[in-house]
């Protein structure tokens, strides 16, 4: 009965929040359309709007989208995870080494997922039980895990010769559609349903909106935050295996800088860094917009330094709009 009352209360709070519509909450959708139109006009003769290029954008952003979906839960709960980029490389390497050692497809997948679970569990434990701010915990974990990534392989790539793994995790196609597209769709559906339609999602929003009130309502906010951080570890592990399947090898450099793109996608999608709200669909659109901009800049011929300038400006604007709209 208590759990039902909590769910009804948090659900009512969420419904009431939807009545306060603010156009800035939907700016990512308008911005995405404007970006598509801009590059479609300026780069139309260079094949920007060709289906093959649009599918390439999806392929390049799938890993960011998957991590960003999980990060939406973390940020909505009032926390943050900076270790996702390093965790992708760790999971990719552990999975590749397991298959190289003869554990096969399933062994590689299990070992890769366990790597993400371990990192997520440590982040969650230190944040909720030791009461260290998640920013500091995951910042340290980002460096620690990246060091492990380099140490276990001496910075050498690990080839993956298991073709079923490569086809399922990144390299395969279903007709003309890359398998990565289906990964994006499945994770989007699961994430949207979990955030909007389940007690866990409502408790995430309640915890980030007002932790004290959520606790008075009977929500175990520590468990909720722990679970959210655990989810980002798992999502990062999946992203790492997708990176390695797409490249047919695992490298310590996978995921470098991804944490910034992931956070930018979440904030662009309508979430607030202060917690309390989130949109999975908006997050995926934010990820696609970042990928579209990067793709357009590459076709335009901008070098890496210029792309970094634009990406940095996007992150600043994302935080600015996220602050104003909440």
User: What's the pLDDT score for residue 315?
Assistant: 66
Q: Which residues pair with 61 in a beta bridge?
A: none
The answer to whether 266 and 71 are in contact (CB under 8 A) is yes
H or E segment and range at residue 174: strand 173-174
DSSP for 219-270?
A: --HHHHHHHHHHHHHHHHHHHHHHHHHHHTEE-TTTTTTHHHHHHHHHHHTT
What span, in angstroms and rounded, lies between the C-alpha atoms of 154 and 266?
34
228-247 per-position pLDDT tens digit: 999 999 999 999 999 999 99
Instruction: Please report, in angstroms and rounded to a whole number, the separation of the first and last CA atoms in the chain.
Output: 32
Report the percentage of the chain scoring pLDDT > 90. Answer: 60
* Ramachandran region, residue 170 (left: φ > 0; alpha: ψ -120 to 50; beta: rest): left
Torsion sign over Cα 135, 141, 143, 146: negative
**Helices 221-247 and 104-128: angle between axes, nearest 10 degrees:** 150
Each domain of the chain, given as residue ranges in start order, spans 2-15+23-324
Q: Which of 110-124, 165-179, 208-222 has the lowest mean pLDDT?
A: 165-179
- Looking at residue 116, its pLDDT comes to 97
Q: Would you state the pLDDT for residue 17? A: 45
The span from the CA of 191 to the CA of 133, in Å, is 25
The confidence band for 275, taking pLDDT boundaries of 50, 70 and 90, is: confident
Q: Which of 19 and 256 is assigned the larger pLDDT?
A: 256
Structure confidence at residue 16 (pLDDT): 44
Q: What is the pLDDT of residue 318?
A: 61
Question: Is the CATH number 2.50.20 carried by domain 2-15+23-324?
Answer: no
Mean of all residue pLDDT scores within the chain? 87
Of the two residues 217 and 10, the one the predictor is more confident about is 217
How large a percentage of the chain has pLDDT more than 70?
Answer: 89
pLDDT score recorded for residue 274: 85
Per the CB < 8 A criterion, the answer to whether 154 and 36 are in contact is no
pLDDT in tens, 53-108: 999 999 989 999 999 999 999 999 999 999 999 999 999 999 999 999 999 999 99
Residues 73 and 231 sit within 8 Å (Cβ to Cβ): yes
pLDDT class of 309 with cuts at 50, 70, 90 = confident
| CA 94 – CA 149 distance, rounded (Å) | 9
């Amino acid at each position: 009965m208590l759990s039902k009352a909590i769910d009804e209360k948090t659900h009512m709070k969420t419904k009431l929040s939807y009545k306060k519509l603010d156009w800035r909450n939907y700016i990512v959708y308008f911005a995405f359309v404007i970006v598509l139109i801009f590059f479609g006009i300026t780069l139309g003769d260079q094949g920007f709007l060709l289906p093959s290029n649009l599918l390439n954008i999806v392929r390049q952003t799938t890993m960011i989208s998957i991590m960003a979906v999980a990060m939406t839960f973390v940020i909505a709960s009032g926390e943050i995870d900076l270790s996702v980029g390093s965790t992708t490389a760790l999971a990719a390497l552990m999975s590749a080494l397991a298959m190289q050692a003869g554990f096969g497809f399933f062994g590689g997948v299990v070992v890769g997922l366990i790597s993400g679970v371990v990192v997520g569990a440590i982040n969650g434990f230190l944040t909720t039980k030791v009461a260290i701010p998640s920013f500091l915990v995951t910042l340290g974990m980002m460096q620690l895990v990246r060091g492990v990534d380099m140490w276990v392989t001496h910075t050498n790539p690990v080839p993956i010769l298991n073709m079923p793994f490569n086809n399922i995790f990144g390299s395969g196609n279903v007709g003309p559609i890359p398998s990565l597209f289906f990964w994006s769709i499945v994770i989007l559906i699961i994430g949207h349903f979990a955030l909007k339609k389940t007690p866990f999602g409502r408790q995430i929003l309640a915890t980030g909106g007002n932790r004290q009130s959520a606790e008075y309502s009977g929500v175990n906010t520590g468990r909720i935050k722990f679970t959210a951080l655990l989810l980002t570890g798992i999502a990062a592990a999946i992203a790492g295996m997708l990176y390695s399947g797409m490249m047919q090898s695992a490298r310590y450099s996978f995921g470098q800088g991804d944490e910034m793109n992931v956070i930018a996608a979440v904030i662009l999608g309508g979430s607030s860094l202060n917690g309390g709200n989130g949109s999975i669909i908006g997050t995926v659109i934010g990820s696609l917009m970042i990928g579209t901009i990067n793709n357009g800049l590459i076709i335009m011929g901008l070098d890496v330094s210029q792309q970094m300038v634009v990406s940095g400006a996007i992150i600043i604007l994302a935080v600015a709009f996220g602050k104003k709209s909440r």
